[in-house]
C-alpha cells in the first residue's frame, strides 16, 4: 500500500466530526494501512474518529485525561460500527501502554496545555515502536495576523486572553515555535518542524470568526476572571465585543492564525540502523507484519483496553450528533 494522504501536520484545520472524512488541508504522509496510532489528548475525539480511515484495518486509540469528553465519539463509533477505534482515559505523562506499541502518534493542540510538554513527548516516544513517527501541532499567537477596523480593541482581546491562559495555566500561547525544541528534548530524532496559517479571509469565515470572538467576551469563563484579575471590566469587554461584531461584517477584515507543526521519529530508519536493508525492504516487512489480524488483546500494559468501561460509557451517555460536531475547544481563533 502506498502512502496515504492523511494528516499529521495535522488536523490543525477546523476539523470537526462533520468533516471527519475530509481532514482538509492535512497530510499524514506516513500513515499506512494496518498501523496502530495513538491520538494523545484527543479531546472529544473528532479528529480521532477520522484517523481510522487512514490506518484501517489498524487501530486508533484516543487518550485523554478528561475521560468523559469523548463519550459522543464512542457513541458515534458504536452506532456506525466503526471498527478499530478505542478511547481511554489516560494521563499523557504516564499512559497505560506498553513500550513500543504504536506505529504513530499525534498530539494536536494539546502540548500548549501542558506544563511539561517535553515530558509528555518522552512518554509518547516510549510507547512508539522504534521506527514510529509522531506528529504535533500547536497554536502560535506570536504569528497572529489581524486587519480591519478597531484593531486596538481586538488586540486588547488577545492580550487579555493570553494573560488569562498564562495566569490560569490554561495554555501557553507561544507553543508553536517551540515544537522542535520539545521533540529534541524528548529524545526524538529527525525532527522536522514547519508552520502554517489558518486564514479567515472570506465573508463567511470572517463573520463566523468575529461573532465567535464577540460571544467569547460574554462567556463567563472569559469575562469573570478578566474582571477578577482587573484585566478588563464589563464596559471594556462590551466595547471589545462590539468591535468584534463590527469587524465581523467589515469587508476589509482579515485574520490568520499561525500554527507550528512538527513530525519526528523515535529512531529514524537509516540503512545502517536497518542492518543493511533498504527503507523499502523494511517498509515491506512492516507491511507484512501489519497485515496480521488485530489481536483481541489490546495494547495496554496489562489486559484488555478497558472495553467494559467504554461500553458502559457509551450506553450511559446519550448525546445527539450536534454534540459531536460542536468542536472541542481547539486553540486558535
Ligand atoms: C485543546 S484540546 C485538543 C483536543 C484535540 N486534540 C483537538 O485538537 O481537537 C486539549 C486536550 O488535551 C487534554 N489534556 C491536557 N492535559 C492532558 C494530560 N496531562 N493528559 C491527557 N490529556 C490531556 C485536555 O483534556 C484536552 O482534551
Cell of 1: 500500500
User: Distance of CA 117 to CAs 38, 92, 184, Å?
Assistant: 16, 9, 11
Neighbour tally for 75: CB within 10 Å: 21
Ligand 1: distance of its center to the CA of 126 in Å? Answer: 19
User: pLDDT digit string (tens) for 243-297?
Assistant: 999 999 999 999 999 999 999 999 976 543 433 344 454 455 445 444 433 333 3
Nearest CA owner, ligand 1 atom 4: 43
The per-residue pLDDT for range 105-149, each reduced to its tens digit, is: 999 999 999 999 999 999 999 999 999 999 999 999 999 999 999
What is the per-residue pLDDT across 158-195, written as a single tens digit (0 to 9) for each?
999 999 999 999 999 999 999 999 999 999 988 999 99
- Residue 329 CA, closest ligand 1 atom number: 1
Output the pLDDT for position 77: 87
Checking if the pLDDT of 230 tops 60, the result is: yes
Q: Whose CA is nearest to atom 12 of ligand 1?
A: 41
Instruction: Decide: 123 in ligand 1 pocket, CB within 6 A.
Output: no
Superfamily of domain 17-139+171-198+258-324: Vaccinia Virus protein VP39 (3.40.50.150)
Ligand 1 mean position to 42 CA, how many Å?
6
Domain boundaries, the chain: 17-139+171-198+258-324
- Cβ(131)–Cβ(269) below 8 Å: yes
Share of residues in the chain with pLDDT > 90 (%)? 58
Specify the 3-state DSSP secondary structure of 292: coil
- The CB of 70 under 6 Å from ligand 1? The reply is no
- 3-state SS class at 183: helix
Cα–Cα nearest to 90, from 153, 57, 41: 41
Q: Which residues, in sequence order, are CB contacts of 79 under 8 Å at separation 6+?
A: none
pLDDT in the model for residue 290:
45
Give the number of the atom of ligand 1 that is nearest the alpha carbon of residue 92.
20
166 CB near ligand 1 (under 6 Å): no
Amino acid at each position: 500500500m502506498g502512502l496515504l494522504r492523511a494528516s499529521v501536520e495535522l488536523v490543525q484545520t477546523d476539523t470537526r466530526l462533520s468533516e471527519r472524512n475530509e481532514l482538509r488541508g492535512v497530510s499524514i504522509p506516513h500513515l499506512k494501512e494496518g498501523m496502530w496510532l495513538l491520538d494523545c489528548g484527543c479531546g472529544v475525539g473528532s479528529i480521532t474518529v477520522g484517523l481510522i480511515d487512514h490506518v484501517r484495518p489498524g487501530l486508533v486509540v484516543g487518550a485523554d485525561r478528561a475521560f468523559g469528553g469523548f463519550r459522543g465519539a464512542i457513541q458515534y463509533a458504536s452506532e456506525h460500527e466503526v471498527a478499530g477505534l478505542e478511547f481511554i482515559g489516560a494521563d499523557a505523562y504516564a499512559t497505560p501502554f506498553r513500550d513500543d506499541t504504536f506505529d504513530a502518534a499525534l498530539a494536536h493542540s494539546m502540548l500548549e496545555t501542558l506544563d511539561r510538554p517535553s515530558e509528555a513527548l518522552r512518554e509518547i516516544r516510549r510507547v512508539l515502536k522504534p521506527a514510529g513517527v509522531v506528529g504535533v501541532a500547536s497554536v502560535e499567537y506570536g504569528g497572529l495576523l489581524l486587519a480591519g477596523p478597531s484593531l486596538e480593541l481586538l488586540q486588547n482581546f488577545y492580550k487579555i486572553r493570553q494573560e488569562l491562559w498564562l495566569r490560569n495555566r490554561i495554555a501557553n500561547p507561544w507553543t508553536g515555535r517551540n515544537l522542535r525544541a520539545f521533540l529534541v528534548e524528548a529524545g526524538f530524532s529527525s525532527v522536522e518542524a514547519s508552520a502554517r496559517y489558518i486564514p479567515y479571509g472570506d465573508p463567511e469565515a470572517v463573520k463566523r470568526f468575529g461573532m465567535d470572538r464577540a460571544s467569547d467576551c460574554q462567556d463567563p469563563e472569559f469575562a469573570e476572571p478578566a474582571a477578577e484579575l482587573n484585566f478588563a471590566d464589563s464596559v471594556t469587554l462590551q466595547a471589545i465585543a462590539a468591535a468584534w461584531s463590527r469587524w465581523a461584517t467589515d469587508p476589509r477584515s482579515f485574520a490568520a492564525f499561525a500554527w507550528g507543526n512538527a513530525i519526528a521519529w523515535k529512531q529514524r530508519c537509516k540503512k545502517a540502523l536497518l542492518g543493511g536493508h533498504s527503507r523499502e525492504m523494511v517498509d515491506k516487512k512492516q507491511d507484512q507484519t501489519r497485515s496480521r489480524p488485530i489481536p483481541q488483546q489490546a495494547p495496554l500494559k496489562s489486559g484488555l483496553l478497558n472495553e467494559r468501561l467504554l461500553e458502559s460509557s457509551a450506553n450511559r451517555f446519550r448525546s445527539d450528533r450536534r454534540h459531536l460536531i460542536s468542536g472541542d475547544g481547539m486553540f486558535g481563533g
